[in-house]
C-alpha cells in the first residue's frame, strides 16, 4: 500500500478544512475523552485510541496495529442547510455535518466507545443504530440523545465487514431520508489486501416538495417518501458531490477500492462503474469475494466493497444502473484516471458510426382511484388510530407514556397545559409552538416543529393523549382541527409559515 499517498490525502483533507468541526474542536488528550469507568475490567486494560476521522469521500488509513484497542468515537448530530443541487437547498440532518457521516474504521475485536452528541441547535432528538453492533437496536435505545446532550455506549466488534450506520429515531424513515447514515468498516484481524486508493461512496434517495431541480430551500415530502417516489437519487448527499471538480482520482496502473454504501431510505442500488469491471466484489460487504462483476446490488441499509485496477486513462462514471436515476435524478459520479494510453486494451474511436435510437414512446399509466384512508367511527377507534400517530410522530420527543425529557420536551402525561384547552393542543400540533410555556409548574422554552399531519390524524392523536396517562379524557373532531389550522398559531414559531 502506498501509505504515504493515503496519509497525504488525509493531511490534504485536513488542510482543506474537510475534517469535521466536531473532531477538530475536540482534539486533545484521548484519555480525557474516554470514560473513566468502562463497562468491564477487561475493557479497562485495553489501550485507548481515538478514531481517525476525515470527511467523505476520504477514509481513514488502514489499521496497522495487531492487537485490540478501546476506540473512542466522538460523533455529533447536526441539522443544517446544505446544497442539494445548483440553486436547490435542503435542511439535512447529519452525522458530523456531512452526508454520508464520517467513515469509521476499527478492527475486529476492538471495543468501540461511542460518544454521540446532539448539537444544541437541533430541533430533533437523534440516535445511532450501527449494523456492526451485536445488541438491541444496534445501539439505538442507548444513544437516544436530546438536543444539547451527549450519550455514551460501548460495543465489541465481533464480526468483520463493512456496515451501515443510521439514525433510528422515529419517524425513522424521515431521519434517514434527511441524510442520517454512514459506514463503519470493521477490518478483519489480518487486515484487507493492500490497494493504492480507497474512497467512500454512499447512495441516498431524497424527497422534496418541488420536483427535481426546482429551486429554493426544499422541504421534505413525507407523501413522496412513503410512495418511494424519489426526486433525487445521489452519491454523497447531493447532485455532483463526486462529479466534475469533485471527481475521485486515480492513476493508470493503480488498484482502487471503493467502500460503497446505500443509506436508502427506500431504493436499492444497481451500482456500476461505466468503463470498468470490478476485479473483486466483497458481496454485501462480507467475506465472500466474487470476481469479474459488472453491476452489483447494494441493498438499502447495506454496503459492498469493490476493487478494480485502472488500466487506461479517462473518465469512469459511477452510476446507479437503474439509469433514469443516474441521468435524471443525480446518481452520477466520476473517477478521473490520468496516465498513459494503452491502445491494446482500449483503442479509442476507430471509425465514425451512426447511432439510431429507438423511437421514444411515452407511456401513460392508469393510476386508478387512491383508496381513502380509514376514518375513525367512534371514540374507541379514534384512540386506537391516535396511538399509532403518537408512536410514529410524537414519541421520539415526548417519549413513551408521554413522560417527556427533562429540560427538552414537556410531559403530555397529566399535563395541566393540555387538559386546560384541548383545541389549543391541535393548534400546537398543526402550527408548532415556541416561546415560554408552563406545564405542571415547570417552565419550558423550546421549539416544537409543526407536524405534517391530516386533520383526522391530529384529532385522533389529541383524543388518544387526552385519554391516556392520567389526563382528564375528552375528544376533538377533524373539524375542530380544521378550524385551528385556519386560526392563528398559539405562539409564533420563527421561520414557520
- Cell numbers for 134, please give them: 451485536
- Residue (147 or 402) nearer to Cu ion, CB: 147
Least Cβ distance, residue 17 to ligand HEC (angstroms):
31
Least Cβ distance, residue 410 to ligand HEC (angstroms):
3
Residue 167 touches which of ligand HEC, Cu ion, none (Cβ within 5-8 Å per kind): Cu ion
The secondary element (H helix, E strand) that includes residue 317 is: strand 314-320
Which of the residues 464 through 493 are near ligand HEC (CB under 6 A)?
Answer: 465
Q: What mask of x and - would describe binding to ligand HEC in positions 422 to 441, judged by CB under 6 A?
A: ---x--xx---xxx-x-x--
Q: Residue 93, interface with ligand HEC (CB under 6 A)?
A: no
Binding interface with Cu ion (CB under 5 A): 126, 167, 169, 175, 180
Residue selected from 6, 71, 176, 412 as contacting ligand HEC according to rule CB under 6 A: 412
What is the total count of residues that contact ligand HEC (CB under 6 A)? 31
The secondary element (H helix, E strand) that includes residue 169 is: none
Residue selected from 22, 112, 300, 394 as contacting ligand HEC according to rule CB under 6 A: 394
The secondary element (H helix, E strand) that includes residue 395 is: helix 395-398
- Residue (174 or 281) nearer to Cu ion, CB: 174
Supply angle C-alpha 73, 75, 79, rounded to 5. Answer: 175
Residue 396 touches which of ligand HEC, Cu ion, none (Cβ within 5-8 Å per kind): ligand HEC
Least Cβ distance, residue 220 to ligand HEC (angstroms):
14
The secondary structure of 265-319 as a DSSP string is: SSPPEEEEEET--EEEEEGGGSS-EEEEESEEEE-TTEEEEEEEE--S-EEEEEE
What are the φ and ψ backbone dihedral angles of 252, each rounded to 5 degrees? -50, 135
Q: Which are the contacts of 350, defined by CB distance < 8 A and separation ≥ 6?
A: none
Least Cβ distance, residue 93 to Cu ion (angstroms):
5
CB atoms under 10 Å from CB of 360, counted, come to 5
Q: Residue 449, interface with ligand HEC (CB under 6 A)?
A: yes
How many Cα atoms occupy the beta-carbon half-sphere of 254 within 13 Å?
21
CB atoms under 10 Å from CB of 292, counted, come to 9
Residue 169 touches which of Cu ion, ligand HEC, none (Cβ within 5-8 Å per kind): Cu ion
Count Cβ neighbours within 10 Å for each residue of 139-161 and write b for 16 or more, e otherwise: bbebbbbbbebebbbbbbbeebb
- Residue (127 or 157) nearer to Cu ion, CB: 127
Supply angle C-alpha 235, 236, 238, rounded to 5. Answer: 80
- Residue (35 or 450) nearer to ligand HEC, CB: 450
Distance of alpha carbon 183 from alpha carbon 166, whole angstroms: 9
Strands 289-293 and 278-282 come out as: antiparallel
CB atoms under 10 Å from CB of 172, counted, come to 18
Rg (CA), the chain: 25
Residue selected from 162, 397, 430, 459 as contacting ligand HEC according to rule CB under 6 A: 397
Residue 444 touches which of Cu ion, ligand HEC, none (Cβ within 5-8 Å per kind): ligand HEC
- Cell numbers for 139, please give them: 445501539
Residue 23 touches which of ligand HEC, Cu ion, none (Cβ within 5-8 Å per kind): none
Residue 427 touches which of ligand HEC, Cu ion, none (Cβ within 5-8 Å per kind): none
Least Cβ distance, residue 492 to ligand HEC (angstroms):
11
Sort 469 into a burial class: Cβ within 10 Å, 0-12 / 13-18 / 19+.
middle
Contact 102, 74 (CB under 8 A): no
Window of 56-64, 280-288, 323-331, 411-419 that interacts with ligand HEC by CB under 6 A: 411-419
Q: Residue 460, interface with ligand HEC (CB under 6 A)?
A: no
- Residue (132 or 168) nearer to ligand HEC, CB: 168
Residue 175 touches which of Cu ion, ligand HEC, none (Cβ within 5-8 Å per kind): Cu ion
| Residues lying near ligand HEC in the complex (CB under 6 A) | 123-124, 393-394, 396-398, 409-412, 415, 417-418, 425, 428-429, 433-435, 437, 439, 444-449, 451, 461, 465
Amino acid at each position: 500500500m502506498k501509505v504515504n499517498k493515503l496519509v497525504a490525502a488525509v493531511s490534504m483533507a485536513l488542510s482543506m478544512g474537510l475534517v469535521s468541526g466536531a473532531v477538530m474542536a475536540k482534539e486533545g488528550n484521548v484519555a480525557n475523552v474516554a470514560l473513566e469507568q468502562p463497562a468491564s475490567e477487561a475493557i479497562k486494560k485495553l489501550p485507548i485510541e481515538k478514531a481517525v476521522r476525515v470527511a467523505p469521500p476520504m477514509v481513514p488509513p488502514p489499521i496497522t496495529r495487531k492487537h485490540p484497542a478501546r476506540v473512542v468515537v466522538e460523533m455529533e448530530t447536526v441539522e443544517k442547510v446544505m446544497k442539494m443541487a445548483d440553486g436547490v437547498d435542503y435542511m439535512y440532518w447529519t452525522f458530523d455535518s456531512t452526508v454520508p457521516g464520517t467513515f469509521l474504521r476499527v478492527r475486529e475485536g476492538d471495543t468501540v466507545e461511542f460518544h454521540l452528541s446532539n448539537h444544541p441547535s437541533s430541533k430533533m432528538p437523534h440516535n445511532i443504530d450501527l449494523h456492526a453492533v451485536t445488541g438491541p437496536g444496534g445501539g439505538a435505545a442507548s444513544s437516544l440523545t436530546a438536543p444539547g446532550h451527549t450519550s455514551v455506549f460501548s460495543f465489541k466488534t465481533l464480526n468483520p465487514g463493512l456496515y451501515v450506520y443510521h439514525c433510528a429515531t422515529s419517524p425513522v424513515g424521515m431521519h434517514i431520508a434527511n441524510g442520517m447514515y454512514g459506514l463503519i468498516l470493521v477490518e478483519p484481524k489480518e487486515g484487507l489486501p493492500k490497494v493504492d486508493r480507497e474512497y467512500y461512496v454512499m447512495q441516498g434517495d431524497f424527497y422534496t416538495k418541488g420536483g427535481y431541480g426546482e429551486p429554493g430551500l426544499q422541504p421534505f415530502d413525507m407523501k413522496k417518501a412513503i410512495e418511494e417516489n424519489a426526486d433525487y437519487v445521489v452519491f454523497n448527499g447531493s447532485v455532483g458531490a463526486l462529479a466534475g471538480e469533485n471527481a475521485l482520482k486515480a492513476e493508470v496502473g493503480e488498484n482502487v477500492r471503493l467502500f460503497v454504501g446505500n443509506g436508502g431510505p427506500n431504493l436499492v442500488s444497481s451500482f456500476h462503474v461505466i468503463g470498468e469491471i470490478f476485479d473483486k466484489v466483497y458481496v454485501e460487504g462480507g467475506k465472500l469475494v466474487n470476481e469479474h462483476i459488472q453491476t452489483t446490488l447494494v441493498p438499502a441499509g447495506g454496503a459492498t466493497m469493490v476493487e478494480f485496477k485502472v488500466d487506461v486513462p479517462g473518465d469512469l462514471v459511477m452510476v446507479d444502473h437503474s439509469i433514469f436515476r443516474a441521468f435524471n435524478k443525480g446518481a452520477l459520479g466520476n473517477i478521473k484516471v490520468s496516465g498513459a494510453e494503452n491502445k491494446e486494451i482500449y483503442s479509442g474511436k476507430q471509425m465514425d458510426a451512426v447511432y439510431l435510437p429507438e423511437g421514444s414512446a411515452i407511456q401513460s399509466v392508469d393510476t386508478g382511484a387512491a383508496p381513502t384512508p380509514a376514518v375513525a367511527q367512534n371514540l374507541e377507534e379514534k384512540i386506537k388510530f391516535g396511538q399509532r400517530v403518537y408512536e410514529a410522530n410524537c414519541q421520539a420527543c415526548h417519549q413513551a407514556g408521554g413522560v417527556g425529557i427533562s429540560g427538552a420536551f414537556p410531559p403530555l402525561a397529566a399535563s395541566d397545559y393540555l387538559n386546560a384547552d384541548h383545541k389549543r393542543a391541535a393548534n400546537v400540533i398543526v402550527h408548532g409552538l415556541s416561546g415560554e410555556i408552563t406545564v405542571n409548574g415547570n417552565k419550558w422554552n423550546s421549539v416544537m416543529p409543526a407536524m405534517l399531519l391530516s386533520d383526522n390524524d391530529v384529532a385522533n392523536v389529541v383524543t388518544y393523549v387526552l385519554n391516556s396517562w392520567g389526563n382528564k379524557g375528552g375528544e376533538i373532531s377533524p373539524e375542530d382541527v380544521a378550524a385551528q389550522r385556519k386560526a392563528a398559531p398559539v405562539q409564533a414559531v420563527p421561520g414557520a409559515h
